[in-house]
Chain A
Amino acid sequence: MFTGFLTVTYDISAVALKAHPEFKSLPRISKHTPLKLFTPSTIPLFTPFLMKSYHLDHLDYLETEAIHIMREVAAEFERPAILFSGGKDSICLLRLAEKAFRPSDIPMPFLNVATGHEFPELLEFRDRRAKELHAKLIVRTVDEALEKGIAVQAPGQISRNQLQIPVLLGAIEEFRFDCCIGGARRDEEKARAKERFFSFRDSFGQWDPKNQRPEIWNLYNGRLNPGENMRVFPLSNWTEMDVWEYIKREKLEVPSIYFSHKRRCVRRGGQWVPDTELMPAKANEEVKEIVVRVRTIGDIISTGCVESPAATCDDIIDEIAAARVTERGSRADDRVSEAAMEDRKKAGYF
């Protein structure tokens, strides 16, 4: 016990010992030190410090990086907002916002750009979560935008993915947001892999991938001229696996559709998508009730459902570890062309 204690002491860096305010007053340990110095009541006092290695694990590291970024946004922008869809990435964003700003209120509203084609489970969850966090939730929808003529539906087009762009830009203008925090990750897609943490948008909301600001160390340049805008992505370095490990570690609630459930699906474009009235199955399309879950949530007509028995976070983590298809492999909107995401981003997408 006694020597073990000593060994532990010297295993950690001498530096840490020196910095400890109690170092000077720590009893000198010599052969003559009576053993009773380390009675049960004194040991717990010192051991946590002595045994500690000053090392952040992978998730802790990603977390502190993201918190730092959220606080930079709060400090450097006048009217920031957090984009909150109710999806797993934005759920992590909200937890990081709590970590960054509590015990204060989260100093920015949540903004949701809804297509009107959401999974109902998602909307219920979105509203409830915002309420629990005492946050202001702003919702702007594609339907409203179509009515007002801000957005125009291309003939024959049913997916509303593209239409989110004018809605987002409209909301930014309406509330004069100078910064939107989003939950996009670089591992999602290869145009995303090129994005900075602080991603500059010109006064038309456009991303210019050939001319991004250098981003060095953790020094983020958030300066804007009037009309310009910043998108900030604190989860840039997170992978799908990290997100689920974080959800598990933080015991975060996620919408039920991420877990295995029964659903009537249509086989379309090489994947299963929910069978809905928005886009009824054609005569030649196979319809089946299967046990599925979603990996990434888009609008209800284009979100691929993967057959899966995963009912818990642990199951999902195992499933991802064994997965042979990427998360966005199941989203029709990204499969249009090699540059589908890049084109949407240039136009002002999230």
Chain B
Amino acid sequence: MSSNSHPVDLLRFNTCGSVDDGKSTLIGRLLYDSKSLMEDQIEALERSADITGGGQINLANLTDGLRAEREQGITIDVAYRYFATPHRKFIIADTPGHVQYTRNMVTGASTANLSIILVDARQGVIEQSRRHAIIASLLRIPHLVVAINKMDLVDWSEERFLEIKDQFEEFLPRLDIKDVKFIPVSALQGDNIVTLSAHTPWYPGPTLLGHLETVHIASDWNLSNFRFPVQWVNRPNNPTDHTLHDFRGLSGQIAGGIVRVGQKVMILPSGFSSIIEQIWTLDGLQEEAFSPQSVTLVLEHDLDISRGDVIVDAEDLPGSSSDLHAKICWMNPRPLTPGKQYLIKHTNQTVKASVTAIEHRINISTLEKQDGITELAMNDLGEIRLKTAKPLIYDGYARNRLTGSFILIEPGTNATVAAGMLLPPTEVARPEYCDFAI
């Protein structure tokens, strides 16, 4: 992902790892020790401790907001929490560890800039820790923190910490994650979360919060390739302002790059060319705008453009094809098999697609690619080929998260069954019609 050098002042992170590794407890501890909890929230915690917890407050209850979650002591769906320190604002997604709810982990992780993977110090790296690390890598989350938790249960052993670090580092080279930090913690007791622990004199720091506040994270919006998927055609019906009688704007969120008045653009898939005449916003006309701003573009030429079309820089075209190659995370109990038909939602359009082949599945234990696969089952990660009813205008996911991602929807149930990341296109967009506008 080409990036902006400006560090983020809003950091979005998620917790992941296997069930009961202490993710929710860790978030609770982080909020509690950073004094981000309000009195009524603390009171509610204490009340439930008296009723159910034998007087012990359960920090996981802060995010486990559903009754079923509190009853079973597990997280079912993502909880989002917001807090701020003088250094940064944070959006936390506390995701479930249970394999059954992997789809909710993917939901929480998809918008994160950083993932914290928890590992239970007694158990070490297990299959679910690996699965989550692989998902983080597929989603291209650039930063990872491996929090080795429950250090209180292994006598704060440095040896054990290093052993687990080795286990993790063993498979790390096969993942595409640039920055990994290992921190020994006890979420339950608060060691190395907000303050350095006296129990781990061998660990020099930083604390988890210290790291989250200072880690340099560049924003991950693509600023190099102008891409504008048209979301909504803006045509005032009876404008009170008569100068707007012929207004025809194209509204949407800039999915990549920078756009300027006067810029030469191409509309895909039609291939018409035009020039940006106005960048309209409620705050006035702009000379330029950039990803991920939401704006309304007015072109010099009156062209047939509708939702799903993509406006791009005329000299920097994306890929276009109806034969797609993608990595996916399968999230439905009914397996994916070649030949099945789905709907694919990509940028602002939804079209029919059928699975033409399963290239391979990733073996979570060995990270090897397994060929000769006939289906992808729930929570499997793999690579597939798709044929779409209409060519998609796209970039590889590594270049642009917004134009390189898609979901698959099952017709009938309308369930979201897969998250997909497109591999780089092999063909550049070839306009359908020749250029007559300019």
Contact = CB atoms under 8 A, between A and B. Distances in A.
Interface of A: 13, 15-16, 18-21, 48-49, 52-58, 60-61, 63-65, 67-68, 71-72, 74-75, 98-105, 134, 186-187, 189-194, 196, 209-210, 212-219, 221, 223-225, 236-237, 239, 241, 323-326, 329, 338-339, 342
Nearest to B240: A134
A134 B237 CA distance: 13
A102 B236 CA distance: 8
A67 B231 CA distance: 11
A215 B107 contact: yes
A21 B414 contact: no
B38 A329 contact: yes
Contacts, number: 202
A71 B263 CA distance: 25
B232 A56 contact: no
Contact of B416 (A190, A210, A216, A239): A216
B262 interface: yes
Nearest to B420: A216
B75 to A, nearest CB: 10
Contacts of B346: 219
21 contacts: A19-B258, A49-B287, A54-B223, A61-B10, A64-B293, A71-B294, A99-B282, A101-B234, A187-B80, A190-B65, A194-B65, A194-B77, A212-B77, A214-B103, A214-B407, A216-B419, A217-B110, A217-B111, A219-B405, A237-B91, A323-B38
Contacts of B38: 323-326, 329
B interface, size bucket: 35 or more
Contacts of B264: 21
Interface in B12-70: 38-41, 44, 48, 62-63, 65-68, 70
A213 B70 CA distance: 21
Given A216-B107, A338-B48, A221 B345 contact: yes
Contacts of A194: 65-66, 77-79
B157 interface: no
Interface in B236-260: 236-241, 244, 247, 249, 251-253, 257-258, 260
A196 B78 CA distance: 9
A203 B282 CA distance: 37
B104 interface: yes
Given A13-B5, A214-B416, A216-B407, A237 B236 contact: no
Contacts of A61: 10, 292
Contacts of B407: 214, 216, 219, 221
Nearest to A212: B77
A338 B293 CA distance: 39
A49 B286 CA distance: 12
Nearest to B3: A13
B107 A339 contact: no
Greatest chain A CB density within 10 A among B80, B409, B415 is at: B80
Given A209-B66, A216-B107, A325-B40, A53 B6 contact: yes
A342 B226 contact: no
Nearest to A218: B402
B135 to A, nearest CB: 11
Contact of A190 (B63, B111, B281, B313): B63
A227 to B, nearest CB: 13
